[in-house]
């Protein structure tokens, strides 16, 4: 999948493009809209916290860091066992690694949810000036088709693209 970014001048243009995308097979769950506070998005597929923030990246990073920290704690527990510990080394590593990964994901996710998505930094000035950012995920082989579709009807739309991992 590839994520296309459209900077649009107003809500009316955005509504028309959303309809065109849906009429051409793009499901609503693959359409995400970001706008400033002065623009109403009622009835439009507004971007979720995952699209607008660094939440997903923070959770991934927290899983990795917490898992490593948990495993290191488990190794220390095996090397210097507390009195009366009757668990095997594998069980200790499994519990501490999983616990650390879970705790790291929660803590880093909570911290990251308030950070703006770095991929949207280039669009902040447009959004602040009242323009609308529409993001849509389309199959890689259809990118040119959707770019052409939008530019044919809306030559004032500015288009960017980024590869994404979704399948």
- Looking at the structure, tell me whether residues 76 and 152 fall in a common domain: no
- Looking at the structure, tell me whether residues 61 and 108 fall in a common domain: yes
Among residues 72, 94, 112, the one where a domain terminates is 112
Q: What is the rounded distance in angstroms from the CA atom of residue 100 to the CA atom of residue 140?
A: 37
- Looking at the structure, tell me whether residues 46 and 59 fall in a common domain: no
pTM above the 0.75 mark? no
C-alpha separations of 66 from 55, 71, 72 in Å: 16, 8, 10
- Looking at the structure, tell me whether residues 13 and 90 fall in a common domain: no
- Looking at the structure, tell me whether residues 59 and 100 fall in a common domain: yes
Taking only the tens place, the pLDDT of each residue in 63-118 is: 999 999 999 998 888 888 877 777 788 888 888 999 999 999 999 989 988 887 88
- Looking at the structure, tell me whether residues 11 and 35 fall in a common domain: yes
Taking only the tens place, the pLDDT of each residue in 43-55 is: 999 988 888 888 8
Taking only the tens place, the pLDDT of each residue in 122-162 is: 888 888 999 999 999 998 899 888 888 888 877 877 777 66
Please tell me the total count of domains within the chain: 2
- Looking at the structure, tell me whether residues 61 and 96 fall in a common domain: yes
- Looking at the structure, tell me whether residues 7 and 41 fall in a common domain: yes
What pLDDT is recorded for position 167?
A: 43
Q: Residue 155 belongs to what H/E stretch?
A: none
**Residue 144 — φ and ψ, nearest 5°?**
-60, -40
Q: What is the rounded distance in angstroms from the CA atom of residue 119 to the CA atom of residue 162?
A: 9
The residue written with tokens 């308030």 in the block is 114
- Looking at the structure, tell me whether residues 10 and 36 fall in a common domain: yes
- Looking at the structure, tell me whether residues 68 and 149 fall in a common domain: no
Range of the domain at 99: 55-112
Among residues 112, 132, 155, the one where a domain terminates is 112
What pLDDT is recorded for position 164?
A: 56
């Amino acid at each position: 999948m590839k994520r296309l970014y459209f900077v649009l001048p107003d809500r009316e243009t955005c509504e028309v493009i959303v309809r065109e995308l849906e009429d051409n097979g793009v499901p609503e769950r693959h359409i995400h809209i970001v706008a400033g506070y002065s623009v109403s998005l009622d009835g439009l597929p507004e971007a979720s916290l995952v699209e607008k923030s660094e939440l997903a990246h923070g959770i991934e990073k927290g899983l990795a860091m917490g898992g490593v920290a948990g495993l290191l704690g488990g190794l220390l527990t095996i090397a210097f066992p507390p009195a009366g510990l009757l668990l095997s080394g594998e069980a200790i590593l499994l519990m501490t690694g999983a616990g650390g990964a879970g705790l790291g994901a929660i803590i880093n996710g909570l911290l990251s949810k308030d950070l703006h998505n770095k991929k949207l930094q280039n669009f902040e000035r447009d959004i602040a000036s009242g323009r609308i950012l529409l993001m849509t995920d389309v199959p890689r082989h259809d990118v040119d088709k959707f770019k052409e579709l939008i530019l044919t009807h809306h030559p004032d739309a500015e288009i960017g693209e980024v590869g994404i991992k979704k399948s």
